[in-house]
Structure 1
Amino acid sequence: MAPALASALDAPTGEVVLTITGNITEKNNGDQADFDIAMLEALGVQNFETTTNWTEGKTAFSGPTLLTVLKAVGAGSTKMSATALNDYTIQMDAGTDDFPGPVIATKLNGEEMSVRTKGPLWLVYPYDLDQKFQNELIFSNSIWQLRSIEVAN
């Protein structure tokens, strides 16, 4: 994967909500890349509505795609592990342009998410868009309270 940004990442000015480590070339804090909400949203936001196993009715999500965030840090792989605030960790592939991965949702129904409402970040897919987003692997990759990603070599 080639970096989406030609220069080093700026340091976050708000609360750090996501840390990316591992096989990355763009860093802003030692060996890692830290992001606040504004930095994530500055990468471009995808908006969609979908039903989920964890919410009632159609829910609106917005945030950058996981692939976009990985490109911004110059990830050398789409293979990664993602960890939530409660240390729940998954191994996953971030997807490809042909089979898109999740969005790192920063907003739910137009509002920032608190830890209580599965935030501040939630990996979500457009489950209603296609049957390929409706299986146990996709559901298990849909972690809320995302705090860190480690990109594999």
Structure 2
Amino acid sequence: MHIVRQLPAVFSLLLSCMLATLALAGDAPTGKPILTVTGQIDETNQNASFVFDKAMLKQLPQYSFTTGTPWHPEKHRFTGPLLRDVLQRVGASGDNIQAIALNDYKVDIPKVDSEKFDMIIALLMDDEPMSVRNKGPLFVLYPFDLQRESQSQIYYNRAIWQLKALHIE
């Protein structure tokens, strides 16, 4: 009889453990990894890094803007999560973001830029996924036409296409 009274508590504990496991599993990529974040981060899901697949990036709030860029002759609509939302998701605490492209090209972006500008990690251009040939699959973009202060060589140099990783320092 004593055991029967404890069953609800045991069941509750087991249910809590199962839900916690499912929540953690939801933070792990199930598709092909597309972005790896390392360095000064509080949240990890694979070794000492946080790895996103495309679906995980799409689960973050999406933001769109239309802008011209120095690399496209006409304006395009870009869509993806705000860089600051990605940094918040992983608990980034450093002041500098080293962005790394597929070809290992690197650029430093001050973290303050992600707070000052509505920068996105674009997944889509004109509502279509971007191929590697078309600067994808990920492209860090400043809202050049919406926040005109970003229309300078300093910020053009910090925009990086074919993004594969962010290292927070």
- Same fold, TM-score > 0.5, yes or no: yes
> Are 2:138 and 1:121 aligned?
yes
> Contact conserved, 1:60 with 1:110, CA < 8 A, in 2?
yes
> Contact conserved, 1:50 with 1:60, CA < 8 A, in 2?
yes
- Give the gaps of 5 or more residues in structure 2: 1-22
> Contact conserved, 2:117 with 2:143, CA < 8 A, in 1?
no
Q: Secondary structure at the match of 1:58?
A: strand
1:1-153 alignment runs, 5 A limit:
10-95=27-112, 99-100=116-117, 102-152=119-169
Change (3 A) 1:10 1:112: same
TM-score (norm 1): 0.89
Distance in 2 between the 1:20 and 1:98 partners? 18
In proportion to residue count, which structure has more strand? Answer: 2
Structure 1 residue 98, shift from structure 2 partner: 5.5
In proportion to residue count, which structure has more helix? Answer: 2
**1:3 counterpart residue number:** none
CA deviations 1:25-69 (Å, max 9, x no partner) are 111101000001111121110011011111121100000011100
Distance in 2 between the 1:14 and 1:97 partners? 27
Change (3 A) 1:150 1:98: closer
- Give the gaps of 5 or more residues in structure 1: 1-5
Runs of 4+ in 1 over 4 A off after TM superposition: 6-9
Q: Secondary structure at the match of 1:137?
A: helix
What letter corresponds to residue 103 of structure 1 in structure 2? I
TM-score (norm 2): 0.81
Change (3 A) 1:77 1:117: same
Distance in 2 between the 1:98 and 1:64 partners? 13
> Contact conserved, 1:81 with 1:149, CA < 8 A, in 2?
yes
Distance in 2 between the 1:147 and 1:79 partners? 17
Distance in 2 between the 1:118 and 1:16 partners? 17
